Amino acid sequence: MKIKYIVPLLFCFTASAFANPGDDIWDHIRMLKDWASLAKADISKHSAEIAQLYSLTEENAGQLHQLRSITEGNTTQLQQCGSEIDTLKSNQIAPHYIGESYRGGLVFYVDERGQHGLIASKIDVTEEGVQWRNGAAGTKVTNARGDGIGAGETNTRLIISQQTVDDQRGTFAALLADNYQVMEDGITPCKTPIAAENVCYGGWYLPSAYELQLLHMNLHHNNLSSFAPEFYWSSTEKNVSNAWLINFSSGEITASSKSNTVGRVRAVSRF
């Protein structure tokens, strides 16, 4: 028997089972048919809702997977950033400070970042005082009038250039500072030729008047280095006859004769 004939019979049997004597069986059949229609509608409705829930679940699952991928990516980036920060911290250079022993000298000035500044030799470049000028060849204007941070280096070049034109032999303050070379300890002179395994520091010059004042204030005044209680030359020229120097006993800065005044020499270098 085909299914389309079984279903009506089921309705009939069901209607007969619930029918009372004297009831119209067709009324029960119609009632069951109405129930079946309602049940079918409910099933269709719930099926649609279930399908929608499945769709939402799959969509949410996709979004969750996407969020998980993004989270994992961000975690990897954060780990990379953390690693880079750790590397930068480990490579960070400690700032220099006044009185630090560095490159064969003592730091007496540092800039705001603490990475650049000036150092002074730990000892005088000569045991005795010398003249500022180079004998008779020094009786001329050198135009070494620079003052301030770094000016001493330019002054030193000008002085040597002008005062060795006629006589390349003499000994004078700027030349002594320029020729100064010292080992890492800041005491031992470098031997020529310098052995490859040794560290020798050159590049020194006679400080400008301002640099010499900083040297006196930051090292001598704070007892961070020993100085003789005598005059020390600066590279700053006042005029054809005089140049500036500082009395390290009193801290007074004064201009005196390039040829008749004997002053000590403390070399400086920049970093």
| Helix H or strand E encompassing 67 | helix 25-91
Query: How confident is the model over 45-96, as pLDDT tens digits?
Result: 767 777 676 666 667 667 767 767 787 777 777 777 677 766 666 667 899 9
Domain ranges of the chain: 3-91, 101-270
CB half-sphere exposure, 205, CA atoms < 13 A: 24
The predicted model scores a pTM of: 0.67
Given phi > 0 = left and psi -120 to 50 = alpha, else beta, which region is 237?
beta
Q: Quick check: 11 and 32 in contact, CB under 8 A? A: yes
Beta-bridge partners for 269: 119
Residue 267: exposure state from Cβ atoms within 10 A (0-12, 13-18, ≥19): buried
Q: What is the pLDDT of residue 1?
A: 46
* Element at 256 (helix H, strand E): strand 253-257
Rounded CA-CA distance 265/271 in Å is 20
All residues at 6 or more sequence positions from 141 whose CB lies less than 8 Å from its CB, including other chains: 162, 237, 239, 240
Q: Which regions of the chain are under pLDDT 70? A: 1-29, 32-33, 35-36, 39-40, 42, 46, 51, 53-58, 60-61, 64, 67, 81, 85-91, 136-139
Sort 121 into a burial class: Cβ within 10 Å, 0-12 / 13-18 / 19+. buried
122 Cβ contact list (under 8 Å, min separation 6)? 101, 104, 105, 106, 182, 186, 187, 225
